[in-house]
Amino acid sequence: MTAPGSSTPFPARIGLGTWEMGVSAAQRSREIAALTHALDIGYRLLDTAEMYADGGAERIIGGALQAFGAARRAQLYIVSKVLPGNASRRGSVRACEASIDRMGCDYLDLYLLHWPGRHAFTETLRGFEQLLRRGLIRRFGVSNLDIDELQDWLRAQNSLGLAATTHCNQLYYCTEVRGIEFQLLPYQRAHAIATMAYSPLGRGALVRHPLLVQLGRERGVSAAQIALAWCLREPDVVAIPKSVVPARIEENLAAAQLRLDPAELARIDQAFPPPRAKRPLEMV
Domains, the chain, with CATH or none:
16-271 (3.20.20.100)
pLDDT at 4: 46
Instruction: Label each residue of the chain as H, E or C.
Output: CCCCCCCCCCCCCECEECCCCCCCHHHHHHHHHHHHHHHHHCCCEEECCCCHHHHHHHHHHHHHHHHHCHHHHHHCEEEEEECHHHCCHHHHHHHHHHHHHHHCCCCECEEEECCCCCCCHHHHHHHHHHHHHHCCECCEEEECCCHHHHHHHHHHHHHHCCCCCEEEEEEECECCECHHHCCHHHHHHHCCCEEEEECCCCCCHHHHCHHHHHHHHHHCCCHHHHHHHHHCCCCCEEECCCCCCHHHHHHHHHHHHCCCCHHHHHHHHHHCCCCCCCCCCCCC
Q: What pTM does this model have?
A: 0.93
CA-wise closest residue to 113 among 185, 53, 170:
170
**Do residues 234 and 175 touch, judged by C-beta distance below 8 A?**
no
CA-wise closest residue to 173 among 182, 163, 160:
182
Q: Compute the distance between CA of residue 136 and CA of residue 157 in angstroms, rounded to an integer.
A: 19
**Do residues 127 and 156 touch, judged by C-beta distance below 8 A?**
no
Q: CA angle, 42 as apex, 96 and 225 as ends, to 5°?
A: 100
Q: Compute the distance between CA of residue 78 and CA of residue 103 in angstroms, rounded to an integer.
A: 10
pLDDT at 282: 46
**Do residues 140 and 167 touch, judged by C-beta distance below 8 A?**
yes
Which of the following is catalytic: 52, 172, 173, 198? 52
Active site residue 77: no
Q: Compute the distance between CA of residue 183 and CA of residue 202 in angstroms, rounded to an integer.
A: 21
Q: Compute the distance between CA of residue 9 and CA of residue 2 in angstroms, rounded to an integer.
A: 5
Mean pLDDT by 10 residues, the chain (284 residues): 58 96 97 97 98 98 94 95 98 98 97 98 98 98 98 97 94 97 96 97 93 98 98 96 97 97 98 74 46
Helix axes 89-103, 56-68, angle to 10 degrees: 50
pLDDT at 182: 94
Half-sphere exposure of 209 (CA within 13 A, CB side): 23
